[in-house]
Amino acid sequence: MKLKDLKIIVTCPPPPGWGGRYWILIKLTTENGISGWGECYAASVGPNAMQTVIKDVFERYFLNEIPSNVERMFRRTYSSGFTQRPDLTVMGAFSGLEIACWDILGKHYDCPTWQLLGGKVNERVRAYSYLYPLEHHDLNDFWVPPDMAAESAINLVEKGYTAVKFDPAGPYTMRGAHMPAMTDIKLSVDFCKAIREAVGDKSDILFGTHGQFTTSGAIRLGKALEPYSPMWFEEPIPPDNLSEFRKVQNALSIPIATGERLTTKMEFAEVLRSGGVSIIQPALGRAGGIWETKKTAAIAEVFNAQVAPHLYAGPIEWAANVQLSASIPNLLIAESIETAFHDSLINGKIKVEDGHIGVSQEAGLGIEVNETLAEEHPYNGTDLHLMMQDDPCDYSNGNSFSGGAPPLKTNLLFDSVFLLL
């Protein structure tokens, strides 16, 4: 059973576009007709260039290979062109291809992927969600008022969620780390206060940032948030100097989390070894795929650290996250995005019920990809999946930042097709 064919679909989630501007979906097919699906997370190049990278990696290291040889394919890709060091773009390509191999293997052996990873440790996976606008909220106004965020948090808790995430602390820019504005510190405190008062002890609050602060700036903001006991302070500083995380963690009582922008066990091991984080957040479509992230989870276990798979992508990466989560003992929680498009693209195969995701017993990743639907929503833009702001932090007028992929607008406040489920 050797790998024979590759198909790439770059699909664009309809407005408001939760999960990024586009998703790069991978379909591999073996010579005996078994197909598996994977997904590549945000890359540093556009989707056209990324497709060329994916095809190159496939033709060099996957074509005519047995799909179970994931270790050999990883070593060849990791070493490609005399490198043997983490490369976000090449590892992003590899990750999507590797996930598809696990889907094929599960289908070949007629078992879920988690069964091939050492079996099931967790019967269900605790889930969390970002705070997204509700139907009556205005898309443009939602990102600043704490009372709207509190309404969204209550809605999620009523659905059974026991953790909610938000990130009101201003922009992440191409200029690198900055000191937070006082207005951003105040807004962050106001968000934490309003949400904590709204959910009480029924939910953890997860404070998200995107590496936008200097080390001292992150500590300054973190100190202001400590009274509200967030379960984590996410990526408070840029990921290009991992040793600095330890300074932030040592100064704060809030657990530090990071990992969305890291790839392979090498980078995760560095920040774990330093004591800089106690929660890692691998994005499986970038971190090296399922097997490499399984190794990373084992390294985290040695340091009493927990794993919280990240998701700002499509439902195939989500399915891979669930399969990995079922198999690791140090799972903390997994991110979820519940939109009608996510649901329809995999024919409703992943559900969050009472704040948890049930672990599928179906073969492979446990999903059925609606290939036609994916192809009916092609991405024709020029922007990247996520993009950083050019303008600096505004210390005079405050900041209103809706993320690296701002929500897409429709003629209506929300079209019924795009409502959060």
Domain ranges, ordered by start, for the chain: 115-365
**Residue 399: pLDDT band with limits 50, 70, 90:** confident
pLDDT above 90: residue 333: yes
CB-based contacts of 91, cutoff 8 Å, min separation 6: 77, 78, 263, 264, 286, 287, 288
Average pLDDT over residues 412-418: 36
Packing angle, helices 88-109 and 70-78, rounded to 10: 170
Q: How much is the average pLDDT of 177-202?
A: 97
pLDDT category, 42, cuts 50, 70, 90? confident
Q: What would the mean pLDDT of 51-68 be, rounded to a whole number? A: 98
- Whether residue 416 has pLDDT greater than 80: no
Kindly report each contact of residues 348-352 with a partner whose C-beta sits within 8 Å and lies 24 or more positions away, as own/partner: 349/319, 350/315, 350/318, 350/319, 350/322, 352/127, 352/129, 352/159, 352/160, 352/161
pLDDT tens digit string along 143-164? 999 999 999 999 999 999 999 9
Residues 359-383: what's their mean pLDDT? 97
Mean pLDDT of 132-144: 91
Statement: residue 412 has pLDDT above 70: no
% of the chain beyond a pLDDT of 90: 90
Question: What whole-number distance in Å separates Cα of residue 118 and Cα of residue 35?
Answer: 23
Distance of CA 53 to the CA centre of its chain: 21
Report the sign of the C-alpha dihedral through residues 368, 122, 195, 251, in that order: negative
Range with the lowest mean pLDDT among 42-56, 249-263, 400-414? 400-414
Q: Find the mean pLDDT for residues 279-284.
A: 98
pLDDT in tens, 71-125: 999 999 999 999 999 999 999 999 999 999 999 999 999 999 999 999 999 999 9
Place of tokens 């069964």: 115
In angstroms, the CA 421 to CA 418 distance is 9
Which of the four pLDDT bands, split at 50, 70 and 90, describes residue 308?
very high
CA distance 263 to 93: 12
Determine the residue type at 419.
Answer: L
pLDDT > 70 fraction of the chain, expressed in percent and rounded: 95
What pLDDT is attached to residue 404? 58
Listed range (197-206, 340-349, 410-419) with the worst mean pLDDT: 410-419
The CATH number of 115-365, from 3.40.50.300, 3.20.20.120, 3.20.20.70, 3.40.50.620, is 3.20.20.120
- How large is the average pLDDT for residues 258-276? 97
Q: Name which residue leads in pLDDT, 270 or 408.
A: 270
